[in-house]
Amino acid sequence: MNNSGIIGHKDILARLYEAVKNRHVASALLFSGPDGIGKKRVAWHLAQALNCRQFSEQGPCQLCASCRKIAAQNHPEVKIFTKEEKAKNLKIEQIFQLRADIALRPVEALKKVYIIDDAHLLTKDAANGLLKTLEEPPLNTLIILITANPSALLLTIRSRCQKIEFKPLPAREVIRRLQEKNQLENSQAGFLADFAGGSMGLAQTYLEKGIFEKKSELDDFLQGINKADIADVLTQAKIFGRDKEQAKIWLDLLLYVYAQRLKSLPQGQAKDYQQDEEFINLVLEAKKNMAVNINLQLVLENIFLRIKYA
Ligand SMILES: [Zn+2]
């Protein structure tokens, strides 16, 4: 299959190929599923399939001018709209641009394709602007909305799109790919695939952020926390809470550690069970509150002190 490095999602590809072959692709699709599992890759691939002059059951040829331009992301009529760097949302101006562009007749594309990444980040105005286009889609165009959070989209938008749900990749697949790309022991790859919840993209990001070092730092810290000096515990909370992005990883690691502990607790240890569950709830609460501006250092201090004196 000429599948441009897509991992898994065989059912979805087969379904899309069939629709391309029968010219039954809807005018708007909604790709949903966790981040980092290849939704965007499939969107670009579908754009190739729709525009390939030699499309076959094997998929787009990857050789024709159209396939190559789309692979290089410089086809003039296949475009992606993403949130601008440092912006929090996809703005109405971007949707104006899309609307102006989509109204033009295709010049070289068989089908013009517009990919909107992280579609849940559309502002309300932008979403309403897009809705108008979805209600009266121009001929020979396809809009693909991509999101990890479909419930955050306007219901009216969702109802205009054909939904395609992407599932996390099987752990063995992620492990295999991780070991192909990186030098990892089985146990390391296993932990990483598990921690990233079947997302190859997320696993790779964690790897780049030094997840193994962080995990062993946390393990050491938790192992010694009962005997540790209170000042050291507070210092650690300060270090872990220094910036939001890092703090999120520490919280996720804490969650992971305690979830593993719960899984491995022998029967009949109700006290430990209750305690670990309480820590998990504390961390979940902290993660939820990260959206509003909480003082991460204080939150971590609280969690660590509860663990210390448990
Ligand atoms: Zn081609």
Neighbours of 156 (CB within 10 A): 12
Distances (CA, A) of 245 to 59, 169, 212, 279: 39, 24, 17, 21
pLDDT band at 296 (very low <50, low <70, confident <90, very high): confident
Q: How are beta strands 28-32 and 78-81 bridged, if at all?
A: unpaired
More confident residue, 266 or 186: 186
Rounded to the nearest angstrom, the distance between the alpha carbon of 24 and the centre of ligand 1 is 19
Rounded to the nearest angstrom, the distance between the alpha carbon of 84 and the centre of ligand 1 is 30
Rounded to the nearest angstrom, the distance between the alpha carbon of 53 and the centre of ligand 1 is 5
State the pLDDT at residue 73: 95
Asked whether the predicted pLDDT for residue 86 surpasses 90, the reply is no
Rounded to the nearest angstrom, the distance between the alpha carbon of 41 and the centre of ligand 1 is 16
Give the chain's mean pLDDT. Answer: 92
Tens digits of per-residue pLDDT, 48-78? 999 999 999 899 999 999 999 999 999 999 9
17 close to 61: Cβ distance less than 8 angstroms: no
285 close to 210: Cβ distance less than 8 angstroms: no
Tens digits of per-residue pLDDT, 99-151? 999 999 999 999 999 999 999 999 999 999 999 999 999 999 999 999 999 99
Which residues place a Cβ less than 5 A from the ion ligand 1?
A: 52, 60-61, 64, 67
Q: Which residues contact 273 (CB under 8 A, 6 or more apart)?
A: 262, 265
Asked whether the predicted pLDDT for residue 197 surpasses 60, the reply is yes
Q: Which residues contact 175 (CB under 8 A, 6 or more apart)?
A: 186, 189, 190, 193
Rounded to the nearest angstrom, the distance between the alpha carbon of 289 and the centre of ligand 1 is 48
Rounded to the nearest angstrom, the distance between the alpha carbon of 144 and the centre of ligand 1 is 20
Asked whether the predicted pLDDT for residue 254 surpasses 70, the reply is yes
Q: What residue type is assigned to position 224 of the chain?
A: G
pLDDT band at 268 (very low <50, low <70, confident <90, very high): low
How far apart (Å, rounded) are the C-alpha atoms in residues 185 and 193?
12
Rounded to the nearest angstrom, the distance between the alpha carbon of 15 and the centre of ligand 1 is 19
State the pLDDT at residue 156: 95
CATH architecture of 10-165: 3-Layer(aba) Sandwich (3.40)
How far apart (Å, rounded) are the C-alpha atoms in residues 147 and 158?
11
Rounded to the nearest angstrom, the distance between the alpha carbon of 103 and the centre of ligand 1 is 25
Asked whether the predicted pLDDT for residue 1 surpasses 60, the reply is no
Tens digits of per-residue pLDDT, 170-181? 889 899 999 999
Cα dihedral 281, 287, 291, 297, rounded to 10, equals 110
Give the CA diameter of the chain: 71
Tens digits of per-residue pLDDT, 203-213? 999 999 999 99
- Strand, coil or helix: 12: helix
Rounded to the nearest angstrom, the distance between the alpha carbon of 46 and the centre of ligand 1 is 11
The domains of the chain are located at: 10-165, 209-308
Cβ-in-10-Å burial (0-12, 13-18, 19+) of 269 comes to: exposed
Tens digits of per-residue pLDDT, 3-23? 677 888 999 999 999 999 999
State the pLDDT at residue 262: 85
Rounded to the nearest angstrom, the distance between the alpha carbon of 51 and the centre of ligand 1 is 7
State the pLDDT at residue 127: 96
pLDDT band at 244 (very low <50, low <70, confident <90, very high): confident
Find, among 174, 167, 118, 169, the residue nearest to 145 by Cα: 118
How far apart (Å, rounded) are the C-alpha atoms in residues 13 and 19?
10
State the pLDDT at residue 3: 64
Mean pLDDT, rounded, for 260-273: 76
What are residue 81's DSSP bridge partners?
116
How far apart (Å, rounded) are the C-alpha atoms in residues 308 and 221?
11
pLDDT band at 220 (very low <50, low <70, confident <90, very high): very high
pLDDT band at 221 (very low <50, low <70, confident <90, very high): very high
How far apart (Å, rounded) are the C-alpha atoms in residues 120 and 71?
25
Rounded to the nearest angstrom, the distance between the alpha carbon of 67 and the centre of ligand 1 is 4
What are residue 224's DSSP bridge partners?
none
pTM: predicted TM-score of the whole model, two decimal places: 0.80
State the pLDDT at residue 185: 94
Q: Which residue has the tokens 């079947």?
A: 198
pLDDT band at 2 (very low <50, low <70, confident <90, very high): low
